[in-house]
Structure 1
Amino acid sequence: MPAWYRDALALVPAYDAVTAAGARVAYRAWGPVGAPGVVLVHGSAAHGGWWDHVAPHLDRTRRVVAIDLSGHGASDHRPAYALEVWAHEVAAVADAAGARGPIVLVGHSMGAFVTLRAAEVPRAEVAGVLAIDPPVREIDSEVRAARAALAAAVPPVYATAADAAARWRPRPAQHVLPYVRDHIAAESVGPVDGGWSWRFDPRAFDRPDVEPEDWGPIECDVTVLRAEHGMLSSAMADHLVDRLGPRARRLDVHGAGHHVMLDRPLAVASAAQDLLARVDRA
């Protein structure tokens, strides 16, 4: 376990929650209240703890906030989910946590869609977006069927928290730093009737499709971070950057899998720091 990781986890965040659109939405935060804000948004079936080893390596003069989107982590479940609702939650959490705007948004996978949607809101106080390996692709019947199967699945129940955590695997499968894996797995389970299970609502996979042509120009600095072995193809990354407008650029992380913060976390921190510097210069 390297020193940079131990130092990050030694900086314990403050935990709180806010009500957004009728649901309790949990978050954790680092840094001074009232400072310029950075909001970190996880992907499908994940939670705010995925950022625990990354957030402390960002600018410590900022208010850095990691959200548990509804249907994930310690937040409430909803009858239905949509990017627009999650984008509203991001704004509510930033305000409740004392993150001063304009804020910078960092989103991974499905969370990248959430951050891009949040930046599209008219008069949104968003200065920059780091979209990490957003799975932009043409949605075909096979993709829809796979997502429907995930949404309909009944999560297994395990006898103990340790049993459940031992079964945690990233999807899609990839290499994960073992100490990062252990931390995330432990926070990915919670008590249920009869034992322990995953802390996410499978119905969150049942959400409206996001097509490549859904995206248009965004009036802030945008970095699209593509993982070499991730879900965003090189051609689609170029297409997305083109659609997001003249303030968008592409950044590749060589050797990384889709879950970049699990195998190349310092590359994520570096990309975020670079975006923050661009925002400050602007």
Structure 2
Amino acid sequence: MTSPTIKPQWQPGQFILAPYEGKHPPTEQWVQDALDDNPVRTSFEIDGLSIELLIWGDEGKPGLLFLHGAGAQADWWNVIAPAFAKEYRVAAISWSGMGRSDWRPRYTIDNWGKEALKAIEVAGLDKAGKPMVIAHSLGGSPLFYLSANHSEQVHAGILVDSFIPKFKAGGSPPKREKLQRYATVEAALARYRFMPEQGTDYPEIVDYIARQSLRWVEEDGEDPAGWTWRFDPSMFASLDVSGVADLVPEAKIPLALIAGEQSGLVRNTNLASIRETLPNCPVAVAIPQARHHIMIDQPLALIAALRVTLQTLSASS
């Protein structure tokens, strides 16, 4: 750990970690403390696949499950989740096709929802009653699935800058090129970026996430050996989310919304209209100066907003 120093100012079009040339950015003490609170790293089996599972806190406490967005993994929550481990049994998973989880030949929101339910069971998040679920970005789609079809197993949910996706298989999904391979970790880190693009005052969090997102692959006849990213580039070619919008009005549990005020996906000006689409939305707030990836942009503000929202949802029936 090093003391905070002046960090390079990010500009659109730049790669956040490039100025550090593979070295760790200066790390604030509270960030280091959170990262030092290591989770239990394990996995579970579903549909013949291994799904990555991270766990913090003691079994028997109220359960809290964190769900990440597209192209991410469970480690995206490793600065946020420890803040709740004293009061909750906390878990995070990597969806199939991402992180250290196995890949599927085809991806569905239903399958991801079933992975979340299995995580609740395996992590023991339901020992003190029905758990609550926190979902970022595309992770909100499986939360909509749970809210409509499995309200008997989930108490409430929080959508973190989430949205109703519009693309479907065979339509115009976001393009994912073949994953680039890098000769060194340093070269890979220098090219790490977010979609949508944004900067942060916490490059140390980006550095941690980026390092956890890398895996080594051997030469396969077409490409040389090297470092690449831990997600299936063909995922969006088969993922059909066309039915997610139909799940929203069927939600049978409270769904709160925390948005980034400067998010390119969920803008503060749309909060009221988004809230109106949810049958039961007791909380809808925007975090000032936060963009889409709030956990790396305004992590302390996100923790504070989650605490207040969880208290409100805990009191709801």
- TM-score normalised according to structure 1 size: 0.91
The Cα shift of 1:280 comes to 2.9
C-alpha contact 1:166 1:185 (8 A) present in aligned 2: no
C-alpha contact 1:113 1:131 (8 A) present in aligned 2: no
2:230 pairs with one of 195, 199, 206: 199
Unaligned runs of 5+ in 1: none
The Cα shift of 1:128 comes to 1.6
Query: What CA distance in whole angstroms lies between the structure 1 residues aligned with 2:108 and 2:166?
Result: 19
Segment of structure 1 superposing worse, 176-185 or 58-67? 58-67
Find out whether 1:145 has 2:172 as its counterpart: yes
Deviating beyond 6 angstroms after TM superposition, the runs of 4 or more aligned structure 1 residues are none
Q: Counterparts in 2 of 1:175-254, with a 5 A limit?
A: 175-176=199-200, 177-193=202-218, 194-206=225-237, 207-210=239-242, 212=245, 214-230=247-263, 231-234=265-268, 236-254=270-288
* Fraction of identical pairs, as percent: 27
Find out whether 1:33 has 2:59 as its counterpart: yes
C-alpha contact 1:24 1:75 (8 A) present in aligned 2: yes
Q: Report the counterpart of residue 73 of structure 2 in structure 1.
A: 47
Q: Report the counterpart of residue 126 of structure 1 in structure 2.
A: 154
Q: Which has the larger radius of gyration?
A: 2
1:12 pairs with one of 38, 47, 67: 38
Calculate the aligned-residue CA RMSD, in Å: 2.2
The Cα shift of 1:214 comes to 4.8
Find out whether 1:167 has 2:191 as its counterpart: yes
Query: What CA distance in whole angstroms lies between the structure 2 residues aligned with 1:261 and 1:270?
Result: 12
Q: Report the counterpart of residue 103 of structure 2 in structure 1.
A: 77
**SS of 1:89 mapped into structure 2:** helix
C-alpha contact 2:52 2:93 (8 A) present in aligned 1: yes
- TM-score normalised according to structure 2 size: 0.81
**SS of 1:267 mapped into structure 2:** helix
Q: Report the counterpart of residue 299 of structure 2 in structure 1.
A: 265
Give deviations 1:93-126, integer Å, cap 9, x for gaps.
Answer: 1111121241111111001222222222144321
C-alpha contact 1:68 1:75 (8 A) present in aligned 2: yes
2:311 pairs with one of 251, 265, 277: 277
Query: What CA distance in whole angstroms lies between the structure 2 residues aligned with 1:238 and 1:208?
Result: 27
Query: What CA distance in whole angstroms lies between the structure 1 residues aligned with 2:96 and 2:217?
Result: 18
Query: What CA distance in whole angstroms lies between the structure 1 residues aligned with 2:249 and 2:47?
Result: 26
Segment of structure 1 superposing worse, 95-104 or 270-279? 270-279
The Cα shift of 1:270 comes to 1.7
Q: Report the counterpart of residue 90 of structure 2 in structure 1.
A: 64
**SS of 1:93 mapped into structure 2:** helix
Report the structure, 1 or 2, having the larger helix content: 1
Query: What CA distance in whole angstroms lies between the structure 1 residues aligned with 2:215 and 2:203?
Result: 21
The Cα shift of 1:212 comes to 4.7
C-alpha contact 1:110 1:134 (8 A) present in aligned 2: yes
Find out whether 1:93 has 2:93 as its counterpart: no
Query: What CA distance in whole angstroms lies between the structure 2 residues aligned with 1:37 and 1:137?
Result: 27
**SS of 2:251 mapped into structure 1:** coil
- For this pair of structures, how many residues does the alignment match? 278
Give deviations 1:169-216, integer Å, cap 9, x for gaps.
Answer: 111111122111110010111011211100000122231134655511
Report the structure, 1 or 2, having the larger strand content: 1
